[in-house]
Amino acid sequence: MALHSKSPSNSKRSVGSPGDFRNMVDRELPHYLALSLSRNKELIRATKGFMPPDEGTGLALSLHHCELPNLLPAVEIGSYAGLSAIYLGTVAKEQGRLLISVDHHHGSEENQLGWEYHDASLVDPVSGKMDTLYLFRRTIELAELGDSVVTVVADSERFASVYPGEIAFLFIDGGHGMDQAQNDFESWVPKIAPRGLLAIHDVFPDPALGGRAPFLLHQKALANGFSETMAQGSLRVMRRDPE
Ligand SMILES: C[S@@+](CC[C@H](N)C(=O)[O-])C[C@H]1O[C@@H](n2cnc3c(N)ncnc32)[C@H](O)[C@@H]1O
């Protein structure tokens, strides 16, 4: 299943470096977003996760520029402790859009015991499994995003099979193994409406810097009716071409 090498050193992931979103906030952000990110600065610093501020800000800006009606939700695959949801949820709230955040909350392969991104403090002592749900709920509460973020605790492919509608925006940041990433792509990308946006995290053109799956998804999207609109760190955002 894994495309990441079992060797942890082959899967460098982006972890937040506090403070460096401030320049972007000052220079490029709409007022509501700058205000909200500034207000949530400490929460962003304290939240466990894999989203550096410049990429989180880029993610927020990309949803801000989504031109599709707010009746169409944004969907994120991979909630973890809610770091990316702070950025996306803030914009969704302003737009009157829902952010549906999907995660089984048992961690990806690389979060399990023995892997590079394992955090032993997140193992439920009773089940013995990773459990990030309570952290996600806490983050959404503290960010005051409860009315805008729908928390779905489910396998992403299984939930896609019962989710019937179109979506305006998709952020893929779930399992980074090849099979899982492909499943997320196949089950969710067809739901993106024309002119809707697809964001993919951890896209590393240089294999020495990270796993292959997100990069291959990025290539696949570009070959199948998407055009790139933004690159920020390892974040890539593409727009589905009009029909
Ligand atoms: C890289 S983390 C997400 C990081 C998060 N976006 C952030 O900003 O910190 C990947 C998440 O995907 C979830 N995940 C992995 N495979 C999944 C699947 N098949 N269905 C649902 N969630 C899955 C894991 O539980 C994990 O929380």
What tens digit of pLDDT does each residue of 156-169 get? 999 999 999 999 99
Which listed residue (104, 176, 201, 218) is catalytic? 176
Share of the chain above pLDDT 70, in %: 89
Q: Domain 17-240 adopts which CATH fold? A: Rossmann fold (3.40.50)
Ligand 1 midpoint to CA 111 (Å): 9
Distance CA 127, CA 189 (A): 33
Atom 27 of ligand 1, residue of closest alpha carbon: 80
Atom 19 of ligand 1, residue of closest alpha carbon: 155
Ligand 1 midpoint to CA 175 (Å): 6
Ligand 1 midpoint to CA 173 (Å): 6
Atom 4 of ligand 1, residue of closest alpha carbon: 80
- Confidence (pLDDT) at 27: 56
User: Under a CB-based contact definition with an 8 Å cutoff, are residues 148 and 86 in contact?
Assistant: no
Ligand 1 midpoint to CA 174 (Å): 4
pLDDT tens digit sequence for 6-48: 232 333 444 433 334 444 444 579 999 999 999 999 999 999 9
Q: Where does 34-121 show beta strands of DSSP type E?
A: 74-77, 99-103
Mean pLDDT of 62-82: 98
Task: Give the residue from 213, 221, 211, 220 showing the smallest Cα distance to 14.
Answer: 211
| Residue 2 in tokens | 């894994």
Q: Is 176 a catalytic residue?
A: yes
> Which amino acids bring their CB within 6 angstroms of ligand 1?
49-51, 78, 80, 83-84, 102-108, 132, 155-156, 173-175, 180
- Confidence (pLDDT) at 1: 25
CA distances from residue 176 to 3, 25, 61, 78, 194 in whole angstroms, order as listed? 7, 29, 24, 10, 26
Q: What angle do CA 183, 221, 164 make, to 5 degrees?
A: 50
Mean pLDDT of 144-158: 98
First to last CA, the chain: 34
Q: What angle do CA 226, 170, 173 make, to 5 degrees?
A: 105
Distance CA 188, CA 102 (A): 11
pLDDT tens digit sequence for 163-210: 999 999 999 999 999 999 999 999 999 999 999 999 999 999 999 998
Q: Which amino acid is located at 138 in the chain?
A: R
- Confidence (pLDDT) at 5: 29
